[in-house]
Structure 1
Amino acid sequence: MINMMIVDDESIFREYLKTTIDWGQYGFQITAEGKNGVHALEQAELHPPDIALLDINMPFMDGIELAEKLLERYPHVRIVLITGHSEFEYARKAIRLGVKDYILKPFTKEELLLTMLKIRQDIEIEQQEKTTAISQQAIMKERLLNRMISKDYNGTQEDTVRQLDELGIRAQSGLFQVACIEIDHLDQKWNEVSEKLLWKFAVTNVLGEIIQIRGSHLMFTDADGRIVSLLEFEDEAAVHEFDKDDYGMLCQLIKKHLKFTITIGLGSVHNGYNHIYSSYMEALVSLQNKFNMGNDRCIEYERYRDEFSGLGFYPAEMNERLLGHMRSGESAKVAEQLTEMFRYIREQRTSVDHTYMICMNVISLCLSFVTEAGYDVEDVYSEGFSPFSELKKLESIHETEKWMKHLYKQAVEYAGSHRMTKARKNALAAKEYIDGHYADPELSVERIAGHIYINSSYLRSIFKKEWQTTVSDYITHVRLQKAKELITAGRSRLSDISEQVGYNDAGYFSKAFKKYVGMTPSEYENTRN
């Protein structure tokens, strides 16, 4: 609603202005009225108006003087003068003072309404421009910060300082420290993307209140959805003054008030914009080690530097894809994902301890799948089965890979043979149809249900029960995962990618992508360049 103030020394005319038009119907509300200029200033202080409708001829303080004082105190207020023929030239001159418009007596209610609607349109355009400017600045800020934590960032100090300054961020000493924050068991707790974003936003808000430093504190989301806390200290003394226990306090407050846990990886302090990436990677390595060090805590790289030396960062997306293929019962894809995992281990030349840690993590993922599906581990394998003891007996990475694939194959085959009910078959058929037809912009629940000859309501029910997500959300998931792959490959324009994944409207695709990934397609493309 747009707030209006009406000022006239005649009460009858004020009443006419208030009642001649149903203001609420057109998006206005009368929040203040004045019987003269002095009284109007008092009322404006209590209820600042967006529009002030002023009679030009009033005692004590006329409309022109009142307009000057209102514009001085409230620069964004729109002034409309009501004037007679005798004050017409006077009113025209007032336009130079910042008065927006004038209405010449006598006037019809249609003339009054048209004048007010024109001003309302001006206000809305200005508000939209401000919102767009703020949104654009936020996008540019997120894009720049993601580039700064990228391995390939090569911006000079001068360029970086200039870009930060344009975004309203004052450069400090160039002493940086990065923390990465994950909500523990995020995917198990919430299925909806909107819920995940809501809780990340809550954590970010608390983080902003807790962390106190001399310098600047920037918060944003990286390409994989983690919350990133980037500290730039004012000087060396500020580094020593900073209390790292603030991050530990954040963990405690989140657990106490939000009823879930977070884990924080904290990199060490580095000097120079081109070394932010080093602190970021240290934070990721620290975060990865929550597997063997426990979650619900802050893990400092500096404290465990010797233990972490030689460790690489194992991408969490590998586990996500592995779990997704298991839930789908796709043995071949599970095996392919395990092959990719061991290829990564060999290429990264990870230490023995880190390789062992990754393998334990992947074994735990398999056992979690078995228990979440409602099966007993000993039923799937054998009585007294101890996978971690078995792992220690293996003498080579080749043996470990072969054993791990067999472990997963048993789990997938057991689940397949014990759960292939009619409902599961239909849910699996629906999933396969989506996987093969996600590029069809007309793909819908009704079309999928028709393809497998079941009722659409029944499909919604069994699909949600089987895959722990809705049909619509899964379609979105498949489309946007494919979009991420196409953007990363870098062989197609974004407008073409939009059509390739089933979106005819590029604007809607961009909106859906940002909601799902946390950034627009072009921003995501820049993080991959």
Structure 2
Amino acid sequence: MNDTYKMMIVDDEFEIREGLNSFYWERFQFQVVGLAANGKQALDLMQRSDVDIVLTDIKMPIMDGIELSRAISVHYPHVKIVILSGYKEFSYARDALQAGVSEYLLKPVDLKHLGESMMKLKHLLDTERQSSQKLQSYENQLANSLPAARDHFFQSLLEDLLPEYHEAKEKMSLLEIEMNATYYCCAAVKIQWRDQPDGSLTDANKLAKATTIIERHLEASQCHSYTLKRKAGELAIFLNLNATTVSPRKSLSLLFDHIIVAIEGELGGRSIIGLGEVYQSLLSFPDSYKQARSIMERHIFRERSGLFQWDPADSLHMERKEYPYSVETKLLDAVLEGNSGNSTMYFQHFWDSCGLDSEHAELPLVLRYLTPLFTMLERRLDLHGASFETMANLHMPFTEYVEQFQTLSQLKIALDRLISDITLHIRKLNDVVQTTSHSAVQQVKKYIEEHSSEKITLNQMADLVYLNPSYFSIQFKKETGINFIDYLKYCRMEKAKELLRRIDLKVYEIGELVGYQDRKYFATTFKSYTKLTPLEYRQSFITY
């Protein structure tokens, strides 16, 4: 390798310092960048200069070589330390090794021996640098692939390829998408451009600039968002905001009014924006987007910009009640845990939340709520190594099963029994592999601790311990008290707190070491976890 390594020489005797400085270090690609008379002086210089190697004496005033080595090991663990000492006693060598010293050489130093030791050190530094560069190259490739993967995730939501709630949260964590606020909503934006005689910007460039304007306003309002480019001149915006004294619809209305004015003023674009209903589940994004696009298309031929909000009363085919995603998640978790009491309770809660407790409920309404529920249950059962067919002799499509009942009450009784039977079968299935779950969870916890800088998914960990993902997820929460994604976040944040107490790593480097390629996402996640930014947390521990 052609890169030069920077070295500092520390010795309280002037003649020895200068003598070592005159040594032909260039043959090892070492460059002396600092000379110090004691350990404290060396540490002061290291705060201002990057150093790869420190060559130091042991016995020095103010701070000796052993104390210096210990301080370097704590604050600059990547730096290699070579001690030149006149002390042959074992205790000095032992203390030096415990302080993280790479080489311990005795004075008067034999130049051949010194050369061999420094060549050995150079090979070690070359190997570490090559590994670091390979890792950086891999991380750069991974970071470059994130935007496309995020686009694919949000595109799948618009196409109704809905993941199960826990799976959606895991994907968002893996893709470093920050959406943990209370309310969820979609906007559909159509921008049309007035002809400009100079033709200074293409429509694609204008759309990119408009996207920047939108994202700037959303970020300033502390609204989490993601903008997905659709057809020419059309955007889908996924919005996530917290509760305030102003209603979310009013808050978004004011925000998009400012955005419309900014796009028209800066780019001369006419914006037609449709705003869907505001929900409290991220799985409602598809419904909100359909509403937003529908209302936007109704006003597409307007001559002026405008914001139009979806009103459920405008459409007879849209039902009044929101799909109870949160109840669905609790019901499916109870079934897959084999918890009969909770599965019965949550199914009743689901039924009531959908307004299915009336004999006047029509078949389309019933199917609208029950079909996605049992489709998702079938998917979860499949991940768990089970199926409707093997456990309840039920063949999909689910529509045919529902239509065989003459009254809603008959259907409800049959579904209660179906949920109960499936839960009982799952409990028996869980009992068969129960004995292996504790050691599996411990193995995964150890793996997370040792590989926190890597991308880690639930499916990977389930494969690691030879369990299906659904069962592993349930057992992990039973063992730890929290779900897998939250535990992974906890481990990474605790590791980040530990690394921030050191001063040799930049904040973005710490983010990468705990598995976050996007430095902004790392900072946001860390502040959400600790109530402090990474820099604020670090400053609270720095002492001089």
What TM-score range do you get, normalising by the shorter chain? 0.3 to 0.5
TM-score, reference length from structure 1: 0.43
TM-score, reference length from structure 2: 0.42
